[in-house]
Amino acid sequence: MSKPQPAALYIAIAFSLGLAACGKGSKDPAEPPPPTLKAAPPSTTADAPEASFADEADTRQATDAKAAAFNLADGPDVCFRAIAKHFGADTKVSEITSFFSVGKEIDAGDTQPAGEMTTCTVDYQDPQDSRKLLRSRLDLESGEFSAPSPVEITVAGGNAADFKLEDYVIPLSKVDAAALTSVMEAQKSKLSGVYSRYVWSGVRLSAPGPFSNTHTLRLDLDGRLASNDIKEGGYASVSIDGKKITANHLMP
């Protein structure tokens, strides 16, 4: 009996990762429950309101500073750098997902400035047990990653005994998401002829799948079509060195 190829097993793996991470489909499958808010104690002095306003200003400035640190303007690899800093450049990763706000000009319901990072998650090999995957999400307010949670892997369409997680992870140091800047710049003239305005809304690392036997980078785009102002999106798959487009679906 021949050994199943990694690509043949991927569909079941991707399906199980999605189910393990969320209950309903969403742009960010690893979205955690909202934080618990605690009421502040009542003020006991006459100058408490002034102190409260000062505290709010300090908090707002700190939040703005952190938001500015996680922005597409700092490079398409902003999430990847945060992961490398926290987990180490040689961490073996399966998938990385980073999304960015598209702004009100593209989506009237988007309340955040265009380019602000809204999601940064990583699925990586458990350093204590190489057979397992863990997932962590960057808290954009604190700048810290969440405690890792296990990702259940289920294999279908092949012999589960033949599955090796090692075929689906890669050292983060081998991925050059920073080089995507050149790819993005090279697409400007073509995209400007189709979209009246557009933004890059996602930068991801995808695990091997039915269309690729290797890891690939992915650039997501959202924009407004110049012909009729319809909101449209697309994506491009790029080699992990960030230089070569392997599948271009940026145009409608």
Residue 18 to residue 20: CA distance in whole angstroms: 5
Residues 113 and 215: beta-carbon distance below 8 Å: no
Q: For residue 177, give the nearest of 76, 90, 104 by alpha carbon.
A: 76
User: In this predicted model, what pLDDT tens digit does every residue of 89-124 receive, in sequence order?
Assistant: 999 999 999 999 999 999 999 999 999 999 999 999
Residues 136 and 121: beta-carbon distance below 8 Å: yes
Looking at the domain assignment, is residue 166 inside a domain? Answer: yes
What's the rounded mean pLDDT across residues 22-27?
36
Confidence grade of residue 58 (pLDDT, cut at 50, 70, 90): low
Strand extents, DSSP E, 126-194: 133-137, 149-151, 170-171
Looking at the domain assignment, is residue 55 inside a domain? Answer: no
Looking at the domain assignment, is residue 2 inside a domain? Answer: no
Residues 211 and 171: beta-carbon distance below 8 Å: no
Looking at the domain assignment, is residue 24 inside a domain? Answer: no
Residue-range definition of the domain harbouring residue 118? 67-249
Looking at the domain assignment, is residue 95 inside a domain? Answer: yes
Confidence grade of residue 211 (pLDDT, cut at 50, 70, 90): confident
User: In this predicted model, what pLDDT tens digit does every residue of 131-180 receive, in sequence order?
Assistant: 999 999 999 999 999 999 999 998 867 789 999 999 999 999 999 999 99
Confidence grade of residue 56 (pLDDT, cut at 50, 70, 90): low
Number of domains in the chain: 1
Looking at the domain assignment, is residue 40 inside a domain? Answer: no
State the pTM of this model: 0.76
Residue 159: per-residue pLDDT: 87
Residues 77 and 203: beta-carbon distance below 8 Å: yes
Looking at the domain assignment, is residue 210 inside a domain? Answer: yes
What's the rounded mean pLDDT across residues 33-51?
39
Q: Give the pairing type, strands 92-100 and 170-171.
A: antiparallel
| Both tokens assigned to 243 | 């230089």
Looking at the domain assignment, is residue 162 inside a domain? Answer: yes
